[in-house]
Structure 1
Amino acid sequence: MNIESMKMFCLVVDEGSISQAARLSFVSQPAVTRQIQQLESYYDTLLFDRADGKMMVTETGKMLYPFAKAIVNDFNHSKEVIQRATGEFHANLRVGASLTIGEYFLPSLLGRFKKQAPEIHVTLTIKNTPSILENLSNDVIDLALVEGIVENNEFIIEKFADDELILVYPSDHPWRDRNDINIEELANERMIWRESISGTRLIVENMLREYGVLDKIESYMEISSTQAIKSAVEAGLGISVLPRLTVARELEQGLLHEMKIQDIHMKRNLWLVKKPQRFNRICVSKFIEFIQ
């Protein structure tokens, strides 16, 4: 048994397939299979069931997984400490971000961070909030930056910023000559929503429900991409509520316009999420300090 077998076992569990683990490790599928077989031979038990073309983790595999993760994490931390002590430190930081943060907020932030810490190699994964938190839970990433609701009590959750939500409309809309509207007027508009699991949508729906407007909105469209929603609003297909950071360029160029809602101010918190660790990796601590 060796540490590489442990690493490969964890990767196969995390990714759910040997082919994906092989691709991410830049090795052949037979090489991955040999690593798993070595571990199975060492523990004298099957770690995966292979039936009907699918690979499922066995009960003993599920028992081994948290221990294997801890071993791999401790090994990586020990290597980082020794490399730093010997002047050969090259850290890898794996950041996960939800869609809006990853696409609109993080690129410039990571650029500034790399100037301060050029020795740290950063990998960014962008998915929806539930998928990113699942990656964090499985130690695929070191920390997560999300805007959605986090309900896992095992995580350490800290607010690192907030983002204003604004109502946007197209240039040819009758609102063009107005400064604000009453929230009741939204019932007469064609609303363009993100998908039902979107954190932004949940915040807006809760607000509209509180004011008794949500059930009155009959004309709406669902689009799973923020960029596509912006294009739809620009084309005159409806209005939408979007994070200000996602429409800053369109507002500046006059492609979209902001409408104030009387006595309503919407914002959402942006969260930094991490798992409790026995050892705080230096690169993770550096990045958190930079954000804060």
Structure 2
Amino acid sequence: MFCRVVEEGSISQAARMGFVSQPAVTRQIRQLENIYGTSLFDRQEGKLRVTAAGKKLYPYAKEIVALHRSSLETIQEHLGEIDKTLRLGASLTIGEYLLPDLIGHFKKHHPDVQFSLSIGNTPQMLEKLEVNEIDLAFVEGVFQHDTYKSRKFAEDELILVTSYNHRWQEKKEINIQELPEEKMIWREKESGTRSIVEEALRNHGILEKIDNAMELGSMQAIKSAVEANLGTSILPRLTVKKELEFEVLREISVKDFHLVRDFWMVVKEQRFKREIQRNFEEFLITEMSN
């Protein structure tokens, strides 16, 4: 309950989430304050604020809650009573184009395991991992992972694509200095893919020269916009495999410009891990290394 009050910034909201009364929450917080011998919250200008002591307690409290949940799951798993649901979070490319097949292969050998998959950008998935909303995060791009345990499990090439009948269609490749001749269609600014592309173009000294056609939060929307000749885009090969095969989009080689981004499996440091999570992690590494 202490964690809920910290996260919601409101006793009334924490009470609603816990299906208890506000006085019940207040009593629990006061009991906790008595145990630690200090105030954990105070009110300033009508707003509830966490004290310095409360801020120090919060990460320990989160770990206590997570460890308690883990212990319950472990015993339930031992007794054969656990709901075998694995909660995954993935960035767009991995979640929509890579994980579904892998989950399907895994379930052939573990039909009783259920999956819950959340899809969003890399920061969103790491945030869900931090607050224990998911068991595993699958992300791309650069991120700070000092508090996480991460492992590369796959990689994908980023390629320049145009409409199939684009004016560059007769060229075997273009020079990177030709890129600013066309407008670029981007993912949203928080996208891991976009960060990689922008950094590479910046290193070649042409990022500032490129006009932005538009920003789109959906990979399918970007592909449709490129197909409609509204601009070019640099996209993961994994996401345009079918469009290239059926000649909807065209890959254009760029001289001396080769981008490969890594896919990372990220977990929080844990002393105890459920068997189904261990099995899926081992399966994933084995499957992607073949």
TM-score (norm 2): 0.82
> Match for residue 133 of structure 1?
126
SS of equivalent to 2:134: coil
2:141 and 2:280 map into 1 onto residues whose CA distance is: 21
Q: Which one of the candidate residues 146, 155, 171 is aligned to 1:162?
A: 155
- For residues 184-211 of structure 1, give each alpha carbon's deviation from its aligned partner in whole angstroms, at most 9, with x where no partner exists: 2112111112223322122222222333
* Gapped regions of structure 2 (runs ≥ 5): 286-290
Q: How many residues align?
A: 281
Q: Using a 3 Å threshold, how does the CA distance of structure 1 residues 122 and 213 change in structure 2: closer, same or farther?
A: same
Q: What is the match of residue 187 of structure 2?
A: 194
Q: CA deviation at 1:260?
A: 1.3
1:40 matched residue in structure 2: 29
Is this contact kept in 2: 1:12–1:21, CA < 8 A?
A: yes
Instruction: Tell me how far apart the structure 2 counterparts of residues 120 and 143 of structure 1 sit (CA, whole Å).
Output: 15
Question: 2: CA distance between counterparts of 1:226 and 1:265?
Answer: 21
Q: Distance in 2 between matches of 1:150 and 1:212?
A: 23
TM-superposed CA distance for 1:263, in Å, is 3.1
The alignment status of 1:180 with 2:173, answered yes or no, reads yes
SS at match of 1:124: strand
Equivalent residues of 1:89, 1:119 under 8 A apart: no
1:21 touches 1:32 (CA, 8 Å); kept in 2? Answer: no
Cα distance, 1:61 vs structure 2:
4.2
Correspondence for 1:146: 139
8 Å Cα contact 1:189-1:219 kept in structure 2: no
Give the secondary structure class of the aligned counterpart of 1:174: coil
1:259 counterpart = 2:252: yes
Deviations 1:59-112 (A, max 9, x none): 454344323322222222222332233333433322221222222222222222
After superposition, residues 69-108 of structure 1 pair within 5 angstroms as 69-108=62-101
Using the TM superposition, name which of 207-216 and 153-162 deviates more.
Answer: 207-216
Aligned-pair CA distance for 1:160: 0.6
Where does structure 1 lack aligned partners over 5 or more consecutive residues?
Answer: 1-7
CA gap of 1:21–1:159, structure 2 versus 1, over 3 A, is farther
Tell me if the contact between 1:19 and 1:29 (Cα under 8 Å) persists in the aligned partners: no
Q: TM-score, normalised by structure 1?
A: 0.82
Counterpart-to-counterpart distance in 2, 1:53 and 1:131: 31
**Residues 282 and 47 of structure 1, relative CA distance in 2, 3 Å threshold:** farther
Amino acid at match of 2:139: V
Query: C-alpha offsets along residues 1-44 of structure 1, whole Å, 9 cap, x if unaligned?
Result: xxxxxxx554565566789878xxxx877537566345214224
* Identity in percent: 51
Aligned to 1:207: 200
Matched, 1:246 2:235: no
Comparing 265-274 with 122-131, greater Cα deviation is found at: 122-131
| Aligned equivalent of 1:115, options 103, 108, 111 | 108
Give the root-mean-square deviation of aligned CA atoms: 2.9
Q: Within 2, Cα distance between the matches of 1:52 and 1:217?
A: 48
Write the distance in 2 (CA, Å) between the matches of 1:179 and 1:140: 47
Partner of 1:5: none
Per mean C-alpha deviation after superposition, the further-off stretch among 251-260 and 53-62 is 53-62
